[in-house]
Structure 1
Amino acid sequence: MLITVTRTGGFAGGERTASLETTCRADGPALERLAELASDDDGAAGRTPVPDGFRYLVRLDDKLVRLQDPYLTEDQRQLIDTVLTAAA
């Protein structure tokens, strides 16, 4: 599974994109399960954006999920942090 995270917003208003391919990783199955759990709740739906909060576009192969702080679940936060950290 290819997981791509694009983070926008924040105090500086910058953008960061990172991708991670799970098939070549030892923790790939765990990341795929985390991605399934994270995509169950669309954290941006009907929510008012927070000033200087981060917004995320998370692409899970062909599925696109829109998320935003501070409305992330723990699964969503863990997935986003893993992808952004692995690509650094």
Structure 2
Amino acid sequence: MLITVTRTGGFAGRERTASLDTEYRSDGAELELLAERALSGERPADGRPVPDGFSYVVHVDGKLVELRDPYLTEDQRQPISTVLGEGA
């Protein structure tokens, strides 16, 4: 499974994109499960951007979801952090 995350916003307003292929990772199955949960997870009806907050576009095998801080669930935050190289 290929997971791609694009993060925009924040104080500097820079865009960052990273991809991760789960096929040969020891934690691949866990990341795939979390990515599927991120796609199907809850999103608040009023998920308006907050000043200096991040926005994310998560692509998983042709499907995508748009998410925003501070409205991320832990199931959404973990694969985003891992793909961007900031997590576990």
Deviations along 1:31-73, one digit per CA (max 9) or x if unpaired, are 1011111111253754211111000000001001100000000
Structure 2: which 5+ runs fail to align? none
2:42 and 2:31 map into 1 onto residues whose CA distance is 18
Percent identical among aligned pairs is 66
1:17 and 1:42 map into 2 onto residues whose CA distance is 23
The answer on 1:17 being equivalent to 2:45 is: no
More moved, 43-52 vs 33-42: 43-52
Assess if the C-alpha contact under 8 Å between 1:44 and 1:67 holds in 2. Answer: no
Instruction: List, as ranges, runs of 4+ consecutive aligned residues in structure 1 with deviation greater than 6 Å.
Output: none
Residue 67 of structure 1 aligns to a residue whose secondary structure is: strand
Residue 66 of structure 1 aligns to a residue whose secondary structure is: strand
The answer on 1:29 being equivalent to 2:29 is: yes
Equivalent in the alignment of 2:50: 50
The answer on 1:61 being equivalent to 2:66 is: no
Assess if the C-alpha contact under 8 Å between 1:43 and 1:66 holds in 2. Answer: no
When the two structures are aligned, how many residues end up with a matched partner? 86
Q: How high is the TM-score relative to the length of structure 2?
A: 0.90
Equivalent in the alignment of 1:41: 41
